[in-house]
Amino acid sequence: MKKIKKWMIVVAAILIILVNIIGFKWVEFKEKGSIKIVLIPKSVSSDFEFWQTVMQGAELAAKEENAILEVKGALLEKDIETQKQALKEAIDEKADVIIIAAADTKALIELIEEAQAKKITVLTVDSKTEGIENIQHVATNNIEAARALTQYMASAIEEGGEVAMVSFVEGTGTAKEREQGYKEEMQRHPFLKMHPTVYCEGTVQGSYKVTKELLKKYPNLKGIIGANQQSTDGICDAVQELGLTGKIKVVGFDSSNTIIYALEKDVIDAIIVQKPFNMGYLAVKNGLEVYRGKKIPEFIDTGYKFIDKETLYLIENQKLLYPIIK
């Protein structure tokens, strides 16, 4: 009889242990649901539709995955110090996944390596860093997009001539890549003369200024390519003001009201729009995959869309041009 009592105690003990294990697993499961993701875009300004759309995509993915998303960063794209600060905070907060759009290819290397040492999954979105191994990059294939845009411009300038690029911040990954793609494609068109790239420091005003200077310096310029939204905005303003509509082929990256108006008015011929929503969405999705230990390719292409006057108001293009419902 004593034997059986002992046996019962053993069974009861096993049951209690089982209950505890199940309970802990449950709690673990619940906690696993709340993976913390920090997104650090180049700008958190609500005026910056591109980054707002990236955030929307990221938010949707986080909601689907039942993860917590926190966005932090600088208001201005070139504010590298604030971005560093944000990254430092994210590391201190013990985020599980950090998704960062590097404002500079080199400035963040140390911090990112620190995060990786602390077993934090780090991904770059839109703009990448240089010299860090084992980091996934979610972005538009900028080289390919720049080549496509350049090719369109080249074929529009049938008679040949001089061409220049207005870029934004020197040293940023995207600027480098777009310039690379542009230059690669230009080599395939010997009848086009390539002038040195100018930089607008990421503002419309700056671009307007440098474009005007450019047009003054090279009066025979036949084509201008804008490397991002601000650059293209400024180009459109300058070209329109100088009454050069139709005389100069303008192509550029990204869209804005100015650019769309310019498209309607034939100031600009074509634009390439990126898919910021996809960028945010895919960055979070892939970030979680990496976090869960899955192998994914180093580069995730989020795609781009080529838009001209004809395709401007196709419904799917409208969605890209006006990503935020107002």
**How do strand 270-274 and strand 304-308 relate by DSSP bridges?**
antiparallel
Q: Taking CB under 8 A as the criterion, which residues in 27-56 touch other proteins?
A: none
The correct pick among 6, 15, 17, 27 for binding other proteins (CB under 8 A) is 15
Instruction: Please state, in angstroms and rounded to a whole number, the distance separating the CA atoms of residues 13 and 299.
Output: 52
Whichever of 19 and 75 has its CB closer to other proteins, that residue is 19
Q: Find the part of the chain contacting other proteins (CB under 8 A) among 15-23, 102-110, 173-181, 224-232.
A: 15-23
Instruction: Report the nearest approach of other proteins to the CB of residue 26 (Å).
Output: 7
Kindly tell me the burial class for residue 290, based on how many C-beta atoms sit within 10 Å of its own C-beta (0-12, 13-18, 19 or more): middle
Whichever of 148 and 320 has its CB closer to other proteins, that residue is 320
Contact 276, 81 (CB under 8 A): no
Could you say which DSSP state residue 199 is in?
Answer: E
Using CB under 8 A as the binding rule, whether residue 24 contacts other proteins is answered as no
Whichever of 13 and 75 has its CB closer to other proteins, that residue is 13
Tokens of 318: 């409208």
Instruction: Please state, in angstroms and rounded to a whole number, the distance separating the CA atoms of residues 38 and 95.
Output: 6
Q: Taking CB under 8 A as the criterion, which residues in 221-280 touch other proteins?
A: 257, 261, 264-265, 275, 277-278
Spatial CA neighbour of 114 closest among 137, 136, 90: 90
Tokens of 110: 């140390």
Instruction: Report the nearest approach of other proteins to the CB of residue 98 (Å).
Output: 23
Whichever of 18 and 75 has its CB closer to other proteins, that residue is 18
Report CA-CA distances (Å) from 326 to 54, 79, 319, 322, 323.
Answer: 17, 29, 12, 9, 9
Using CB under 8 A as the binding rule, whether residue 281 contacts other proteins is answered as yes
Instruction: Report the nearest approach of other proteins to the CB of residue 232 (Å).
Output: 17
Beta strands in 232-294 (DSSP E): 249-253, 270-274
Kindly tell me the burial class for residue 171, based on how many C-beta atoms sit within 10 Å of its own C-beta (0-12, 13-18, 19 or more): middle
Using CB under 8 A as the binding rule, whether residue 117 contacts other proteins is answered as no
The β-bridge partners of 206 are none
Using CB under 8 A as the binding rule, whether residue 191 contacts other proteins is answered as no
Instruction: Report the nearest approach of other proteins to the CB of residue 41 (Å).
Output: 17
The correct pick among 28, 64, 110, 213 for binding other proteins (CB under 8 A) is 64
Instruction: Report the nearest approach of other proteins to the CB of residue 282 (Å).
Output: 7
Instruction: Report the nearest approach of other proteins to the CB of residue 28 (Å).
Output: 14
Instruction: Report the nearest approach of other proteins to the CB of residue 48 (Å).
Output: 15
Contact 215, 183 (CB under 8 A): no
Using CB under 8 A as the binding rule, whether residue 63 contacts other proteins is answered as yes
b/e code 12-38 from CB counts within 10 Å (16+ = b): eeeeeeeeeeeeeeeeeeeeeeebbbb
Using CB under 8 A as the binding rule, whether residue 313 contacts other proteins is answered as yes
Instruction: Please state, in angstroms and rounded to a whole number, the distance separating the CA atoms of residues 104 and 88.
Output: 15
Using CB under 8 A as the binding rule, whether residue 319 contacts other proteins is answered as yes
Could you say which DSSP state residue 196 is in?
Answer: P
Instruction: Report the nearest approach of other proteins to the CB of residue 8 (Å).
Output: 5
Q: Which residues bind other proteins (CB under 8 A)?
A: 1, 4-5, 8, 11-12, 15, 18-19, 22, 26, 57, 60, 63-64, 66, 257, 261, 264-265, 275, 277-278, 281-282, 303, 313, 315-316, 318-323, 325-326
